[in-house]
Amino acid sequence: MIGTSYLGATHAICMAHLGYDVIGVDVDAEKVAKLTAGVVPFFEPGLTELLEATLATGRLRFTTSYDEAADADVHFVCVGTPQRRGENAADLSYIESAMASLAPLLTRPTVVIGKSTVPVGTAERMLAFLHEHAPVGNQVEMVWNPEFLREGWAIEDTLHPDRLVFGVTSSTGEKAMREIFASMISTGVPVVVTDLATAQLVKVAANAFLATKISFINAMAEVCEVTHADVKKLSEALSYDGRIGGRFLHAGLGFGGGCLPKDIRAFMARAGELGVDQALSFLSEVDAINQRRRARMVDLARECVDDSFKRRKVGVLGAAFKPNSDDIRDSPALDVATRIHKAGAQVTVYDPAAMVNARRDYPALTYAASAEEAIDGADVVLHLTEWQEFRELDPVALADRVRQRHIVDGRNALDAERWRAAGWHYRALGRP
Ligand code: UDX
């Protein structure tokens, strides 16, 4: 397993759990040391326990040395493909260097399985590279096997995927994949066998669709705001239409994280290179709607403090880009908190899991040890990541801790009536 970040570590642990001998390779010695010691370097429910159990079997180990993985029967490539600084396109340097390190080790027929999210055409290019540079030449098979796991549900999504996609160039590749994933396939998981290009596109198309669905309902929220309609009710009414469905139809502060935002941007950039930029121009609107929600959240908060943040105290509940995660990559919560801080307020943040990451990357913000402490003396409280812990807060008990009872629910997840009954001025995105 080459690359042991979110995707690679989860996949390595789960494959060892399924009974395979797995060696995880990463150039990051600190990550390797942690995983070897049974420490998962990110927050993912259940993964530490599964790591400990699989390490104990002796089937799983981690190393910084590619050489130790040379005799593997198959090589999964799980390295990151972040957004390039200052550009929409994906940074492929990690995948290119992984292939460069792997190629000289391929001395016998082998299958290289790409799982990273890549611009369409990357797999073909990598395969040509391996054929040229591997000692075994064109006896390297390539398969593209996109991964759809969600943070917070990583084990469940890996062990019980809703579909398996195998992008292959020959029946040898397909046979290898059917063997590797036999236990899942036998439980009836649908398998879609495609060419390399389609498999690479499936992943970005899925994320583009999900982002579009979220931005669609957030666009409806914008219309609700000027018509005094309620987007939560609107969304509920839409959800009963089986053709639409209610998942990914929650209006609020919009999407963030390490996948959706950068994947739609990389997809647009790739479409431009391919001369079909018009086909995806709607995604720039999807991105713009998403960004506007953050600005709207700041405006709602500002309205609560008489149009000026100067010398105001703002309590922020949530830092992670979504609940059950410590991931703060492109976090809408920290984006909003930072904008308000820059406008002159003292912003105090609390998150159940993302404090270490938030403190490291956003040192200018103030941090509290609990939700209660974050809102002490606040002029306005902002609910920006919908952790269960925040839904369970008691608005009656909190009422006397704040300077003004203003709460803005950026995730439409709190019980508005309960907060209002406790004397709070409750505002939310897309609702009266
Ligand atoms: C996503 C895809 O779901 C997953 O299949 C892919 O493999 C990686 O990218 P993830 O980034 O873990 O997974 O988060 P996801 O649960 O999809 O949420 C993305 C963002 O959308 C979060 O910020 C979340 O708060 C937001 N969201 C989600 C909404 O604003 N409204 C919704 O209805 C759903």
Give the model's pLDDT for residue 429.
97
Residue whose CA is closest, atom 1 of ligand 1?
150
- 8-state DSSP, 408: E
Strands 22-25 and 140-144: unpaired
How confident is the prediction for the chain on average, in pLDDT? 97
pLDDT tens sequence across 21-50: 999 999 999 999 999 999 999 999 999 999
- CA 1, 109, 66, 37 dihedral sign is positive
Atom of ligand 1 nearest to the CA of 385: 25
Cβ atoms 232, 251 nearer than 8 A: yes
Is 78 catalytic? The answer is no
Residues with CB under 6 A from ligand 1: 148-151, 207, 210, 214, 248-250, 252, 254-257, 259-260, 321-322
Domain locations along the chain: 6-194, 204-288, 292-428
Distance CA 142, CA 123 (A): 8
- CA 264, 269, 273, 278 dihedral sign is positive
Distance CA 385, CA 372 (A): 16
Q: How confident is the model at residue 64 (pLDDT cuts 50, 70, 90)?
A: very high
pLDDT tens sequence across 234-250: 999 999 999 999 999 99
pLDDT tens sequence across 141-175: 999 999 999 999 999 999 999 999 999 999 999 99
Cα–Cα nearest to 399, from 427, 412, 418? 418
Give the model's pLDDT for residue 402.
98
- Please determine whether the domains at 6-194 and 292-428 fall in the same fold group of CATH: yes
Residue whose CA is closest, atom 13 of ligand 1?
150
Angle made by CA atoms 206, 207, 210, in degrees to the nearest 5: 90
- pTM, two decimal places: 0.96
Give the CA distances from residue 163 to residues 191, 203, 375, in Å, rounded to whole numbers and listed in that order. 6, 12, 43
The one catalytic residue among 14, 78, 259, 304: 259
Give the model's pLDDT for residue 277.
97
Distance CA 425, CA 84 (A): 42
Residue where the block lists tokens 């995927």 = 161
> Which architecture, in CATH terms, is 6-194?
3-Layer(aba) Sandwich (3.40)
Give the residue, out of 83, 115, 210, with the most ligand 1 atoms within 8 A of its beta carbon, to mutate for a pocket test.
Answer: 210
CATH number of 292-428: 3.40.50.720
Q: Which CATH number fits domain 204-288: 3.90.1150.10, 1.10.1040.10, 2.40.50.140, 1.10.760.10?
A: 1.10.1040.10
The neighbouring-strand residues paired with 24 are 62
Phi, psi angles (nearest 5°) of residue 110: -150, 165
Chain mean position to CA 241:
27
Distance CA 320, CA 96 (A): 30
